[in-house]
Amino acid sequence: MGDIVAGALEGGLAPDFQRVGDLSWVGSSTDHIRYLLKFQAMKGMTFSACWGLSVDFVPIFKGGSLRWKRTAKSANFDLCIDPIDLSGRIPSWCSFYSNDRDDRVAHTALKVLDAARQDWSGITSLNDVTDSFERRSKMEFRRFSLENHVQTDLAWGLVLIAIGEADRGQNHLDAYCDRFAVARDDAVLTKARNEAATIATG
């Protein structure tokens, strides 16, 4: 299944994308941002697409502690765009069954790539990342909204600090720490905050 999707995406994905899993691709880091594309396994032998981005200086809480995700292999969604969140169900245009015909799978992969590229084209800087968080925070979702995604306040806060909005950024970090019982003086979080502040000063 993964090779069928990979064949369809070949030539459409930018050359800097790496295939890091059977149905997962990650782009190289540009302005600290990596684009992600993934077809995730759902119930009923269905695979549904989501895409978004990972920010290199934003850690992730994994295995009981904050850890870095600065490589293609470790990159993970800080901002996830999942069509299911808007529709409340698995849309047919961005999903396929494990027993679908090859041409149906390939056709779906190309539709997904078009949608992902459209979203990525509007997120090319850290300012765009904060704008995307702001815009999506005002949208109505039928499944998961921004607050349901664990990384939201952590990523939003650190990126705000990186573009010079330290007070707003710290508010999001405080909310993240309170919600997930992360110490505000955690060593990795402190380093991430300092790195974001350094980016802000150029």
**Which residues are 178's β-sheet partners?**
none
Mean pLDDT, all residues of the chain: 95
Domain tally, the chain: 1
Which residue range is the domain that position 35 belongs to?
2-200
Give the integer Cα–Cα distance in Å for 137 and 147.
8
Task: Give the mean pLDDT of 37-48.
Answer: 94
Q: Which of 126, 125, 130, 122 is nearest to 152 (CA)?
A: 130
CA torsion angle 190 193 194 196 (round to 10): 160
In the prediction, which pLDDT does 165 show? Answer: 98
DSSP state letter for 28: P
Task: Give the mean pLDDT of 173-178.
Answer: 97
Share of the chain above pLDDT 70, in %: 100
Q: Which of 60, 63, 85, 80 is nearest to 142 (CA)?
A: 85
